[in-house]
Amino acid sequence: MTTVCVTNQKGGCGKTTTAVNLAWSLTRLGKTVLLADLDPQGHASLGLGFDTDLLDRTIRDCLVRPSLPVGEVFLPFSDKLDVVPANISLASLEQELAGEPERELRLRQALVSLGRVYDYVLIDCPPSLGFLTINALVATDEAIIPVETSSFSVHGLERLLETIEMVERNTGRRIQARVLATDFHGNTRYSREFHETLAQRFGEQLFETVIHHSVVAKDAAARGLPVGRAYHHSKVDNDYMALATEILESAPVVEVENLREWEEKLFGPSVRGEEIVFRLQAPGVRRVQVAGRFNDWNPSLGEMRQDPISGVWSVRVRVSPGSYQYRYVIDGEWIEDPANERHEFGETGFRNSVVLVGDK
Ligand SMILES: Nc1ncnc2c1ncn2[C@@H]1O[C@H](COP(=O)(O)OP(=O)(O)O)[C@@H](O)[C@H]1O
Ligand SMILES: [Mg+2]
C-alpha cells in the first residue's frame, strides 16, 4: 500500500482535481484506491458526486477514533475506488484535539488499521499547513505538489518543502515529494517559461507530465464525475492517465530501515510520565503478556488486551523511574520486542528488551 498526499497550502492550484482524477486513472490501470478527503470543504467528496451535507460518518470519525474500521466510513464510487468523505465538521477538530498526545499520528494510525486492502491511498489536503496537513504528511510515502503554471506562483513553496523536511526528521521516514505543473496553457509563452523555471529549480522532482488547462476539468467536477467519465480521452483525461503511469513506473522501493523506525514509534514501548504503554502487533495469536522487573517477571501479572479493531495488543504499567528489561510472552513463548532496538543482557544471560523511564 502506497500513500500519496496531494498538498499545497495555496488554494485553487489543482489539488482536488489531481486527487480525484489521479485516483480514477489509477483504477483504470488496475489499481485499487482509497481517496481520503482531508479538506473540511469536502471538494473531493463533492467532485465524486457525494452530498457532503448528508453524511453520517466522515474522515473526522477516523481521526477522533483511529481504530474505527474504515469500512464503516468509506463510500464506494466504483469497484476499485472508495472515498472517505469529509465535510465542514472537520473544521473544528484541531481545537478539539488540542493537547491530545500524538494527535499528528491520527491519520497514520487509522491507515495502519486498514491493513493492505488498497494499492494506493490518496489524500486530498486542505489549503493550509495546519494540523490536518501535518497528519497527511506523517501518513504519506509520497507528496504531489500541484503548482499552477498560469499564475507565477511559487510563493509558499519553500515553506511547504521545509514542513515536509520537518516531518521527515520527526518520523525518520522519507517522503518522495514531486511538483506537478497544472493548469498549463501550452500556447502561451508564459506557461512554457514558468514550466522551464520549475524544471530548473526541481529537476527530477518535477513530473514530466503536465496537466493542461481545459474547461472540462471544472465541468466534470461540477457534475460530480472524474474527467475520464465525463470526457473520456479529453486532453485533461489523457494528462491524468499519463500522470498515473508516471507514478506507477517510478514507484519507490520502501526503505526497510525507515519502516522499522516508524514501527518503533507506533508499536514500541512508549513512556508517559511514570507509565509505560506496551504495544505489539501480533496477528493470529491467542494470548500476549508482558513480563519484566516491574512485575517480577510474572507474565500472569502482565496480561495484554487486544484491540478488536486494530488487532494491536496493549497494556499500561505504572512504574517508578528506572531502566526496565522485559520480554513479551506470546502463546507461552518468550520473545524480545520486535519493535524495540534497545537490548541488554539480563542476570540469567538472556538478552532482553529495555525501556527507560525518567532520565536515569
Ligand atoms: N487543468 C485545469 N484546467 C482548468 N481548470 C482547472 C484545472 N484544474 C483545476 N481547475 C479548476 O480550478 C479550480 C481549483 O482547482 P482545485 O482542484 O479545486 O484546486 P485546490 O484543491 O488546490 O483548491 C477548480 O474550479 C477546478 O475545477
Ligand atoms: Mg481542494
Of 103-107, 226-230, 269-273, which one has max mean pLDDT? 226-230
Centre of ligand 2 to C-alpha 91, Å, is 14
Predicted confidence band at 153 (pLDDT cuts at 50, 70, 90)? low
Residue 256 has pLDDT above 60, yes or no: no
Using one digit for the tens of pLDDT, what is the confidence trace for 271-330? Answer: 888 999 999 887 778 999 999 999 999 999 999 998 776 678 899 999 999 999 999 999
Residues of the chain with CATH 3.40.50.300: 2-249
Nearest Cα residue to 175 out of 161, 185, 196, 186: 161
Residue 261 has pLDDT above 80, yes or no: no
Residues of the chain with CATH 2.60.40.10: 268-357
Ligand 1 residue neighbourhood (C-beta within 6 Å):
11-17, 43, 127, 182-183, 211, 213-214, 217-218, 221, 236
Surrounding ion ligand 2 within 5 Å at CB are 15-16, 43
Residue to mutate, 150, 153, 218, ligand 1, most ligand atoms under 8 Å from C-beta: 218
Residue 102: the pLDDT is 82
Which of 73-77, 154-158, 320-324, 328-332 comes out lowest in average pLDDT?
154-158
Mean pLDDT of the chain: 90
Q: Summarize the confidence of residues 183-201 as an average pLDDT.
A: 89
Residue 263 has pLDDT above 60, yes or no: no
Class of domain 268-357: mainly beta
Which of 98-102, 136-140, 242-246 comes out lowest in average pLDDT?
98-102
Domain 2-249 in CATH: superfamily?
P-loop containing nucleotide triphosphate hydrolases (3.40.50.300)
Predicted confidence band at 347 (pLDDT cuts at 50, 70, 90)? confident
Q: Summarize the confidence of residues 2-6 as an average pLDDT.
A: 96
Q: How many residues does the chain have?
A: 360
Ligand 1: which residue has its CA nearest to atom 9? 14
Residue 246 has pLDDT above 90, yes or no: yes
Residue 112: the pLDDT is 78
Residue 327: the pLDDT is 96
Ligand 1: which residue has its CA nearest to atom 26? 218
Centre of ligand 2 to C-alpha 122, Å, is 13
Residue to mutate, 17, 155, 179, ligand 1, most ligand atoms under 8 Å from C-beta: 17
Contacts of 34 (CB under 8 A, 6+ apart): 70, 74, 81, 82, 83, 84, 114, 117, 118, 120, 121, 122
Distance between CA atoms of residues 337 and 349, nearest Å: 17
Task: Give CA angle at 5 (66, 103), nearest 5°.
Answer: 35
Residue 339: the pLDDT is 84
Ligand closest to Cα of 17 equals 1
Centre of ligand 1 to C-alpha 291, Å, is 56
Which of 42-51, 278-287, 350-359 comes out lowest in average pLDDT?
278-287
Residue 142: the pLDDT is 96
**pLDDT: is 134 or 99 the higher one?**
134
